[in-house]
Structures are given as structure tokens and as C-alpha cells.
Amino acid sequence: MTENFVDFIGLYGHFAGEDYPSDEDDDVDEHASERAPLLERVPQKMPSTASNNKAFFLLLKAFVGTGVLVLPKAFSNGGLLASCLMMVFVAWYAWHCMLVLAEVYQRVGGSYSELGLKLFGPWASRTITVSILLAQLGFCSAYTIFVATNARDLWNSITQCRYNFSPTFWVVLQLLAYIPLAWVRKIKQFAPFALAANVFIMAGLGYVLTFDVAHIASHGVAEIVQYNPLRFPLLIGTAVFAFEGVTLVIPVIDSMTHKDRFPAVLSTSLGVCIVVFIAIGSLSYLALGDTVETVILLNLPKAAPTYLVQLFYTLAIMFSVPLQLFPAVRILESAVFPRSGKGNPMVKWQKNGVRALVVCLIACIAIFGADQLDNFIAIIGALACTPLSFIFPAALHYRISQGHPWTRFKDLFLGLLGCIIMVYVTYIGIMSWGVAAPTVDRCPASPLL
């Protein structure tokens, strides 16, 4: 298992098919350019040693993460039947677009951004790179809000509101952990954190499912709706957020010994994800109805086991943030710094300063969206994840499908549908900002900070 997690961490060193060398790598020349400009460099591919089972594990880990626990609120936004159908549709949509991206990669070759360069030109490559950057920063901001909300509730429950601090305080407090972790250069050093995070996540999901089943058995099914037309678009954005894993398609293919088995492995992993996502979302919604919180852990009974789950899940998300941040800071560093920091403390600390500023930017975004986490996640899913997951793969495949009218029509349709989702869900997310009830606050008094 440890070896599998080391390999999974290695995927982030080849995020979207790119190669992210470190200042501390032995093959980095301290007197030469740290890395060529993004559009001119040839990435180092991962060794093709992964079996089908290991590739399945890597893909499953890419999808089942910290965002699962916001699905119950998403089901409340969409309604039970509509949410189940939409989750299946978004999973199929993501599956198909990942397969077409894989086909483009195997026929053209190169990283995600290089595919855009080869098929459309520099503007497409830059657009893909910016979208990757925005998506990763959005993920980190959403995770920071999740940690702040969960940690604040845990603290107030234990101290009985004796020391009540604001959500902003809990966001700023995380900087003490994220800034030093952002300075880590070697990606595989995050492997122990990722292993611990996933153990905590699995334990948390098991606890939530146990609570749901027990609550339904003792209290019956809560009052629910099958379709909620007012907030249904927020469900779409959250579903896209949950199934965003397209940036790991190329490195997973590169890692596989039998690359022709990728479609079967992808289908199996997404099938498992659909079952897990629908189980968590539907059972929690059936148990709690409209009282479900954006962070489902806030609905659990206040007792020692719940406190442990909240603590472990908070740590799991905090361990995940530096990993999600890694591609973003490396993209920014490649654009700002022409030389390696190896052997040059001044350059290295300048890079550390940039990384610290990026973490502070994430904190500012998190403070802004702290009270509306479900809207925030929907907007990130629509605005940042939809282009990467749906629009760009369809456009790239359209470019190589000359002479096949039906295939080209399908690519145009899927790309246009992605554009509609991006614009519509983002618009609804912005216009409905502040409409939903705020997160439950166990302390009626004004916070200390």
C-alpha cells in the first residue's frame, strides 16, 4: 500500500503530463535554466511499470477524496432522483471525455498543454495551463474552507463555546501549516501524508455511512424532494467538482504497462466512484433531509467518536492541500523564475516567498467563500473544472477527427454542452450567493477574533 501511495504522489510530479523538477533534484543544473518555458520543454515520462490493478488504485484515489462529504448537501440542492441521475450523467460525461483525451494523447503525444499547442497553437496551450492553475487554487481554497468549518465546530463542541473564534481565524491559522509545507520541493515527501489522509478519509466515510443507516433505521426517512429546481444547478457544479480527474489521465496512461487496458480500468474505477458517491449523497440526504449541512460531519451526534472523525478528517484535508498546491506553485515558478534555486539561497528564498504569497491568496479566497461553501464548490466546478474535464478534450478530439462527420458532430455537441454548463452554473452560483442558510453555529455569542 505504501508503494502504491508513493506512485500516486508521483503522478502529481507529472501532473497533466508535465514534468515538475525540484531545486533539490540531482539532475537540475544550478547554473542552467531550471526548466525551459512551459511551451518549449519535453516532459520526462513516468516509468511504465504499473499493473492494471495499480492503475485502478491510482484512478480511484484521484476521484475519491475530500470532496465526497459535500455531496449530501449537493443532493439536498438537487433533489434525490435528479441528483442520482445527474451524478450518473456527469460520470458518463467525464468518462467519455477522458477516453477521447487519452485517444488524442496516444495519437499526438505530449502533455495536456502541449496537445493544445500542437493542435491549436500557443493560445490554447496557455489557456489549458491557466485552467489547471485556477482549478488547483480553487481546490485548495475549498479544502481550506472545509478545514476551517470542521475545525471550528470541533473546537466549539469540545470547549462548549468558551473560546469562540471566527471562521476567518481558523482560515488564517492554517497558514502556519500550509506555508512550511508549500516549501517542500520533493513531491514524494508527501507520500506519508497522503497515506495517512486516505486512511482518515476511508474511516470518515465508513462512520458517516454507519450513522446514516442507523439514523434511517431509528427515525425513518426524512422529508425530501425528488427535484429542486431553484438550486439544482449547484448540484451540477458539485458533481463536476467531484469527478474532476482528467489532469491525471496522461500520467496514469504513462505509468501503465498495458496502456490498451486504460479504458477498462477507467470504466471500473468510475463505476466504483458512482456507487460510493451516490451512497454517501443519497443516504445522508434520506437521513437528514433539508437539515443536512454543507459539511456533513457537522450533523453527526456530538460524542467522542464524532470528535475523532472530525479531527482525523481535518488532518486528512490539511495533508491533501500541499499536494493539490504543488502543480500550481510549480507552474507559477516556471513563469517567474528562469533559474534553479539549487546552490543559490537567494533564488530559493524568493521562490519560498512566492509560495507563501500563493498560500496567502488561497486563504483570502477561502475567507471570502467561507459562509457559502456549497456555492463556492459549484462555481469552482463549473468555472475551473468544466473546461478541463469537458470542453478542452472535446475540442482537441474534434481537431484530430477529420473525415468523420458523426464524431466531429459529437465532439462539437459535448464541447458546447460544457460551455453551457460552465456559464449557466457559474451564473446561478453567483446570483444565489448568500441565499442559502449559513452553516450551523453552535455558539450564539460573537466570536473573539
- pLDDT for residue 151 is more than 60: yes
As beta bridge partners, residue 255 has none
For residue 443, the model assigns a pLDDT of: 77
Handedness of CA 344, 347, 353, 358 (dihedral sign): negative
**pLDDT number for residue 333:** 83
Q: Which residues pair with 256 in a beta bridge?
A: 50
Number of CB atoms found within 10 A of residue 47's CB: 11
pLDDT tens sequence across 380-436? 999 989 999 999 999 999 999 876 788 889 999 999 999 999 999 999 999 988 776
3-state secondary structure of 410: helix
Contact present, 255 and 7 (Cβ < 8 Å): yes
**Which among 348, 340, 347 is positioned nearest to 31, based on CA atoms?**
340
CA distance linking residue 244 with residue 386, whole number of Å: 8
**Which residues have CB under 8 Å from 445's CB, separation 6+?**
161, 164
**pLDDT band at residue 35, thresholds of 50, 70 and 90?**
very low
Estimate the crossing angle of helix 175-182 against helix 304-336, to 10 degrees. 40
Mean pLDDT in the chain? Answer: 84
Handedness of CA 377, 383, 387, 391 (dihedral sign): positive
Minimum mean pLDDT among 35-44, 228-237, 289-298: which range? 35-44
Separation between Cα atoms, residue 423 and residue 371, nearest integer Å? 23
Q: Which three cell numbers stand for residue 32?
A: 542552467
The share of the chain scoring above pLDDT 70, in percent, equals 86
Classified as helix, coil or strand, 292 is coil
204 pLDDT higher than 90: no
Does position 22 have pLDDT exceeding 70, yes or no? no
**pLDDT per residue as tens digits for the range 358-369:** 999 999 999 998
Q: Residue 93: is its pLDDT beyond 90?
A: yes
Q: Which residue has the cell 466504483?
A: 272
Task: Classify 106 in phi/psi space as left (phi over 0), alpha (psi -120 to 50) or beta.
Answer: alpha
Q: What is the pLDDT of residue 26?
A: 44
Q: What DSSP line would sit under 158-196, residue for residue?
A: HHTTSS---HHHHHHHTHHHHHHHHT---GGGGHHHHHH
Asked if residue 359 lies in contact with residue 187, where contact means CB atoms within 8 angstroms, the answer is no
What pLDDT is attached to residue 32? 46
| Integer Cα distance of 76 and 294 in angstroms | 9
Q: Per-residue pLDDT for 129 more than 80? A: yes
Q: Is the predicted pLDDT of residue 37 greater than 50, yes or no?
A: no
Question: CA–CA separation, 122 vs 306, rounded Å?
Answer: 51
* pLDDT for the residue numbered 147: 92
In the chain the domains, ranked by start, together with CATH numbers, are: 2-12+52-431 (1.10.4160.10)
pLDDT (tens digit, 9 = 90+) per residue, 253-266? 888 888 889 999 99
Q: Which of 29-43, 120-134, 372-386, 432-446 has the lowest mean pLDDT?
A: 29-43
Helix, strand, coil: what percent of the chain each, to 5?
Answer: 75, 0, 25
DSSP state of 120: T
β-strand partners of 339: 33
Q: What is the pLDDT of residue 372?
A: 87
Higher-confidence position of 214 and 344: 214
- The alpha helices in 220-303, defined as continuous H runs, are 232-242, 249-255, 262-288
What's the angle, vertex CA 87, arms to CA 86 and CA 88, rounded to 5?
90
Specify the pLDDT at position 127. 93
User: Is it the case that residue 240 has pLDDT exceeding 70?
Assistant: yes
| Residue 42 in this model has a pLDDT that exceeds 60 | no
Q: How would residue 342 be classed by pLDDT, with cut points 50, 70 and 90?
A: low
